[in-house]
Amino acid sequence: MAYSITRDYIRKGNSRPGTKNGDVKFIVSHDTGNPGSTAYANRNYFNNSQPSASAHTFIDDKYILEIIPLDEVAYHVRNNVTTDNRMFGANANNAAIGVELCFGGSINFTEAYTRYVWYHAYLLDLFGLNPDKHIVAHSTLDPSRRRDPQNALQQNGISWEKFRSDVKATYQSSFKGGQDSGSTPAPAPTPVPPQVKGVSVDLPLKEGDRGQFVREVQQDLIQAGFPLPRFGADGAFGNETEVAVMRFQRKYGLRVDGLVGTNTLNKLNQVLSEPRPATEFPLPTRVLRNGDRGEEVKQVQRALKQINFDPGAIDGIYGSNTENAVRRFQSMYAALADDGVYGPNTRRYIQLELEEQD
């Protein structure tokens, strides 16, 4: 193993009910939301305070610390939010491993992140999971209240997609289950720590920067009500993005400099965590498909973005990105045809998702 795993379980109580879980079907990625709080600080808190919440594993720059056995239930996602049931056919507390990233303060982020990436790859191998399908952000399951782990990742210049890419690369290079062995089983490679390339993106983001991280910030600005009508979320930090950032900063009382630093990111995450009513996302009633254009397409794109099925730019063009987003959404429901066409049945299920966020 590239890293050792410390198993120091908390006592049974509200945080650790001791109930056995079912088959592990996916991994939920979290951050602690408490900068500077170490893995053992969290372990001691849950052991002593026993809140009705928990997670299996906390990771900082020194420890991969499992505080609840992986074959037991941990309360890391709200039970009354059912996105996990629709996406994976099971409740996250019963069928997923909750992994928390410790960050901030004196924690060396690169060391903590590298362990976080490696542990996700380890879990994929341990439970026979698919890196493309079975890792989900807490923010995806509970978007009206949570912005983790993007909260911690973005502050350190890492996009959600970059994180998933790092996990997949580590899984494929360092674990036997990630090898495409063909007819002859490949020997298990020597485990090595992942190369953390995502940390090379420095804050603040500014005009001239490019990449997936810029694109995610642009998508968040659009979702927060600061549109980018000319270029959309194109991954290029140009004048239009700078103006939107300045407008956001002015509205929320931040220093207006057009730079996306830690304070701006924190406020953006906070704004997006606040519930927005479904009435802000009116849905068209007619059928829409690839090739259609106009304001009704924008309405569908905005709604898809709100429920975390990114259609790309909110540009009113029903192209391949929007079609793929609709198709991904439809694949969650057995009652929907997986055809990428927005029709009355798809509209009804999107509306249900939006209403659940109210």
pLDDT tens sequence across 107-158 = 999 999 999 999 999 999 999 999 999 999 999 998 878 889 999 999 888 9
Measured torsion, CA atoms of residues 268, 310, 98, 332, in degrees rounded to the nearest 10: 150
- The share of the chain scoring above pLDDT 70, in percent, equals 90
Sequence ranges of the domains in the chain: 6-178, 202-271, 278-357
User: pTM value?
Assistant: 0.67
Domain at 202-271: CATH code:
1.10.101.10
**CATH architecture designation of domain 6-178:** 3-Layer(aba) Sandwich (3.40)
Give 192's pLDDT tier (boundaries 50, 70, 90): very low
163, 325, 178, 27: CA torsion to nearest 10 = 60
Q: Read off the pLDDT of residues 217-230 as tens digits, 9 standing for 90 and up.
A: 898 898 788 888 88
310 contacts 219 by C-beta, under 8 angstroms: yes
Which CATH code is given to the segment(s) 278-357? 1.10.101.10
Identical fold between 6-178 and 202-271 = no
In whole angstroms, what separates CA 257 from the centre of its chain?
28
